[in-house]
């Protein structure tokens, strides 16, 4: 039995919304580049290479301030993935509020594998020190 079946959609949606709003407010007021309270990426700290998530906090901060191009400069993969990450969140909240969510999207198994390959390729590409690919580094 999953959490949605056990407690219903309202507490889960309220809790998820509270966390998202709290993180958004925090990121709006505290710039990850200026604030020392953000821990550096452990992968980058240990290896010197950028992981697929490097620059995500700075990109979210830029998006919250309306700077889409700056956000794309920090982490284009995260910015492009946001609508896909937001869809189930919005659907859960709509289900809690009106009893039905957004239409269910079926992802065939090959799309999950393709996503994994894209993330790995992005990871490799942003660490290649050749001009067109250096743009991908945060």
- Return the exposure string of 87-98: e unless at least 16 CB atoms fall within 10 Å of the residue's CB, then b: eeeebbbebbee
**Whole-angstrom Cα distance, residue 134 to residue 71?**
16
Half-sphere exposure (CA, 13 Å, Cβ side) for 19? 6
Give the up-direction half-sphere exposure of residue 72: CA atoms within 13 A in the CB hemisphere: 5
Query: At residue 3, does pLDDT exceed 70?
Result: no
Question: Residue 28 gets which letter from DSSP?
Answer: H
Is the pLDDT reported for residue 37 higher than 70? no
**Sequence ranges of the domains in the chain:** 3-134
Condensed to tens digits (0 to 9), the pLDDT of residues 89-98 reads: 888 888 888 8
For range 93-122, the mean pLDDT: 89
Q: Confidence band (pLDDT; 50, 70, 90) for 81?
A: very high
Q: Calculate what percentage of the chain has a pLDDT beyond 70.
A: 91
Write down the pTM of the prediction. Answer: 0.81
Residue 19's contacts (CB-CB under 8 Å, 6 or more residues apart) are none
Q: What is the 3-state secondary structure (H, E, C) of 82-130?
A: HHHHHHHHHHHHHHHHHCCCCCCCCCCHHHHHHHHHHHHHHHHHCCCCC
């Amino acid at each position: 039995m999953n959490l949605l079946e056990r407690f219903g959609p309202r507490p889960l949606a309220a809790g998820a919304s509270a966390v998202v709003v709290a993180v958004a407010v925090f990121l709006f007021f505290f710039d990850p580049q200026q604030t020392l309270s953000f821990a550096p990426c452990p992968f980058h700290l240990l290896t010197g290479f950028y992981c697929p998530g490097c620059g995500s906090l700075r990109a979210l901060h830029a998006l919250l301030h309306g700077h889409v191009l700056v956000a794309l400069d920090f982490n284009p993969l995260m910015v492009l993935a946001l609508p896909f990450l937001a869809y189930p969140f919005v659907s859960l909240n709509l289900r809690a509020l009106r009893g039905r969510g957004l239409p269910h999207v079926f992802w065939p198994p090959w799309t999950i594998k393709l996503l994994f390959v894209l993330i790995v390729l992005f990871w490799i590409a942003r660490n290649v020190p050749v001009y067109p690919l250096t743009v991908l580094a945060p």
